[in-house]
């Protein structure tokens, strides 16, 4: 099975939007940082 992550990017940073609202977000670093982490974890 292949899994394709859905990633929200806001201002060049990966974010999780709470109920789709920009003002309610958690940042998770840059897309490049996250892609490298996923690759190192075997994605």
* 20-34 confidence digits (pLDDT tens): 899 999 999 999 999
In the block, residue with structure tokens 């109920």: 19
> What is the pLDDT of the chain when averaged over all its residues?
91
Domain ranges of the chain: 8-40
Q: How far apart (Å, rounded) are the C-alpha atoms in residues 25 and 4?
A: 21
What stretch of H or E contains 32?
A: helix 31-40
* pTM (2 d.p.): 0.69
């Amino acid at each position: 099975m292949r899994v394709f992550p859905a990633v929200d990017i806001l201002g060049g940073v990966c974010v999780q939007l709470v109920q789709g609202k920009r003002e309610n977000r958690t940042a998770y670093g840059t897309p490049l940082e996250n892609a490298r982490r996923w690759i190192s974890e075997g994605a």
